[in-house]
Each structure stands twice: as C-alpha cells, then as structure tokens.
C-alpha cells in the first residue's frame, strides 16, 4: 500500500515579515540565538488561518518521504501481521487506525534516523530489520495510546473517522488499546536486545505519566509553562526521542550519536506538539479530522492559551477552572486569537526545530540527514 503524502507545504511567506519579541520566562529549556533562516517561517500559521483549501506543495521542497518510502512500504500490512487475534471483531478494532491514512510521521522519522546513523557509522545504506521493527513498534505504541486517549477524553472523531470507542463502546476500545500495546511489546521482545527494550519501555511509562500531568494544573504561571512543556515531552516527544535513540543504538555503537538522535527526536517532538496545539486554534474541524478547540473543551490550557494569558490576565481564572463555565471556551478562543499566543507558540516551535537541526547537523552529511532537517521545516509548515 502506498503511503499517503502526509502534509502540505504552503509557499513560504515573504522574509522578514515581522520580528517577534519573545521572552520566555520558563528557565527549564534554554536555547541559543535562533538562526535567520527560521524567521521566514514566522507567521506562517497565521497565513493559513482556517484555510481548508489544499495548497499545492512547493516544488522546491523535495519529498523526504522518498528516502524512507522503500523501508515503509507495507508498513501497515506488517503492523497488521503483528496483531494476531482470533476474533474477527477484535481484529477489526485493532486494525482500525492502521488503514494507511495516518501521517506515518513517526515511522518516517525513525527510518530516516536509522539510515542517517548507519551512514554516519559505516556508510551502510541499508536499514536493519531490527531498526524497521522499531519504526513499526513506535507506530503501534502511538496508536495504542490514541485509542486509550479517546476513551479518556470521550472523543468522537479522529482522522476524519469515528473513534474506536464511538463505534464499539468503551469496554472493547480499552481492550483493543491493551492488545495493540501487548503486540508492540511482543515485537519489541523479539528484537532480542534488552537495551532496546528498556529504551522503548520508557516511552510507555512517559505516556502514562504525561496523561497524569494533564490531569493537574499549576497555579503559578511559570510553573504552569514548565508543567506544559514536561507534559508535551512525555505525551509526544518521548516516543520520537526514544525511538530515534533505539535505532541509533542498533546502528552505531557511539553513545554521542545516541544522544544526538535522542535530542533531535525530543526537539522535533516538542515542536510537533506545539504546532498541533496551534492548529487546534487556527485550523477548522473538517481539515483536522477532529473537532477544533478540542483542547479547550477538555479543559486544557496549551501553549497559545498560556501565552495569551500574559496579555489577558483575566484568562487566569478560566484556566484554573479548566474552562468549565458556559462561554469559557468561546471567550478563551477569542482571547487567544486576539493575542499573539499563536505566533509565540509557533516561534517557540521554531526554536525547538532549530535545536533539532543543530543536533542532527553533528552527524556525517547524507541525503537522509538533509531530509531530517527538511522534516523540521515541514513540522512548522504543516496545516493539519
């Protein structure tokens, strides 16, 4: 099955459109000065505010998918083969999201990273079977967590389809998630490497802890931001960071390379989620495949809200009561769009992407390395 081209790149806006005065008060994550090249992405998310039309991808952006496509051919078929179940219905539920319509963002990063590390180590151009397994396992763990998240959030739609819980009910949906996780764990054991097992098991633990972090909220504004970034790391970036680390361990014995792979994955992962949080405000439901302003409705204060709160302190009370009063969601959304919360969050994502680029640039040059760099740009440009 051919993998779908998974996001569209709008043409870059005119350079130097605006300069952002960014003052990030959270000291936990610090960055070097950002490079000029990233300024041109500034305001991109504003340029396609609720633009549901499909923008043609710019010729200049070569498809980095091309390099990994060979490795990801039959990705979903192979995942389905891992899901050995005897009952038709449970099988159908487990296969439901592996329909080839997902972005396959994680497996793509993982195989590109595997290739970049292999080339760095001994100029090998092959992806090892075990590295490809990591890509499969990463997508499976991700999907298992989506199925459970949808039960937790009582979500009705995802990727333009009804959720598993909506179709089959919560009891069965939770079991399907558990089954996908057990199959991922089985595939992980079969790689036969205890270090890889530990690295990827960390992801499972982080996903759950991230979900717990999402339950609580902090009173103090700075703590709140650090809390948000930590949650973002655990819920999204840990999976990418640790799968990148896993393939680097399989491909190259040098611990410095493992750290590069981890840092790249971590920074791209956080940027990816920051943009996701922006899109929740700037994109419309049809385009996202899930309802817009979903985070606010769940009572979650994401990046754009936390930045907006600095301009509109009256949002504090709403954040603390998790947007539970009638009208809170609409008012918060209006405040966010009036503020520079969206730009600030996008800008922060740019800084993470820049950091990811800086890390990956330490590897020996290769087309795969360039693709990983390009991928950071696409994380910022995506509109769904």
Residues within the interface to another protein (CB under 8 A): 84-87, 89-90, 148, 151-152, 154, 165, 169-172, 174-175, 178-179, 181-183, 185-186, 188-194, 197-198, 201-202, 204-205, 207-209, 211-212, 215-216
CB 350 within 8 A of CB 380: yes
For another protein, the closer of residues 152 and 285 by Cβ is 152
Nearer to another protein, 178 or 286 (CB): 178
Nearer to another protein, 65 or 98 (CB): 98
Q: How far is the CB of 135 from another protein (least distance, A)?
A: 19
What's the closest the beta carbon of residue 299 comes to another protein, in angstroms?
12
Least Å from the CB of residue 306 to another protein: 22
187-192: Cβ within 8 A, 24+ apart:
187/82, 187/133, 187/136, 187/137, 187/140, 188/133, 188/137, 190/133, 191/130, 191/133, 191/134, 192/130
- C-beta closer to another protein: residue 183 or 381: 183
Q: Least CB distance from residue 187 to another protein, whole Å?
A: 9
Supply the minimum distance, in Å, between the C-beta of residue 146 and another protein: 13
- For the record, the structure tokens of 158 come out as 């995802």
Q: Which residues lie across from 161 on neighbouring strands? A: 158
Closer residue to another protein (CB): 175 or 337: 175
When the beta carbons of 323 and 347 are compared against another protein, the nearer one is: 323
- Determine contact, residues 213/128, Cβ cutoff 8 Å: no
> At closest approach, how far in Å is the CB of 226 from another protein?
17
Least Å from the CB of residue 154 to another protein: 5
Q: Smaller CB distance to another protein: residue 127 or 144?
A: 144
Taking alpha carbons only, the member of 354, 346, 336, 333 closest to residue 383 is 346
């Amino acid at each position: 099955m051919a993998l779908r081209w998974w996001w569209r790149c709008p043409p870059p806006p005119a350079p130097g459109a605006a300069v952002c005065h960014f003052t990030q008060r959270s000291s936990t994550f610090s960055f070097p000065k950002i490079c000029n090249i990233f300024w041109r992405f500034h305001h991109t998310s504003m340029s396609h505010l609720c633009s549901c039309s499909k923008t043609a991808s710019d010729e200049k952006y070569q498809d980095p998918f091309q390099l990994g496509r060979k490795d990801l051919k039959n990705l979903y078929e192979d995942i389905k083969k891992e899901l050995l179940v005897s009952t038709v219905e449970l099988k159908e539920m487990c296969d439901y999201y592996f329909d080839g319509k997902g972005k396959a963002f994680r497996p793509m990063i993982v195989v590109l990273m595997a290739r970049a590390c292999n080339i760095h180590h001994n100029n090998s151009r092959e992806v090892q079977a075990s590295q490809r397994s990591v890509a499969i396992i990463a997508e499976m763990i991700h999907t298992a967590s989506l199925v459970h998240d949808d039960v937790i959030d009582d979500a009705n739609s995802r990727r333009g389809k009804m959720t598993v819980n909506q179709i089959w009910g919560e009891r069965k949906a939770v079991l399907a998630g558990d089954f996908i996780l057990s199959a991922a764990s089985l595939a992980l054991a079969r790689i036969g490497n205890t270090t890889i097992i530990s690295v990827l098991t960390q992801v499972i633990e982080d996903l759950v802890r991230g979900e717990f972090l999402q339950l609580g909220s902090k009173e103090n504004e700075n703590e709140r931001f650090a809390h948000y970034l930590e949650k973002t790391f655990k819920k999204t970036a840990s999976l990418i960071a640790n799968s990148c680390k896993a393939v680097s361990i399989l491909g190259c014995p040098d611990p410095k390379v493992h750290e590069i792979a981890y840092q790249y994955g971590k920074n791209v992962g956080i940027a990816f989620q920051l943009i996701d949080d922006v899109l929740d405000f700037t994109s419309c439901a049809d385009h996202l495949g899930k309802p817009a302003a979903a985070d606010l409705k769940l009572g979650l204060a994401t990046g754009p809200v936390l930045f907006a709160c600095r301009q509109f302190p009256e949002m504090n009370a709403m954040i603390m009561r998790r947007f539970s009063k009638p009208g809170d969601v609409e008012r918060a959304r209006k405040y966010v769009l009036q503020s520079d919360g969206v730009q600030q969050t996008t800008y922060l994502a740019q800084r993470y992407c820049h950091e990811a680029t800086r890390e990956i640039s330490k590897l020996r040059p290769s087309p795969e390395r360039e693709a990983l760099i390009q991928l950071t740009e696409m994380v910022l440009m995506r509109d769904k």
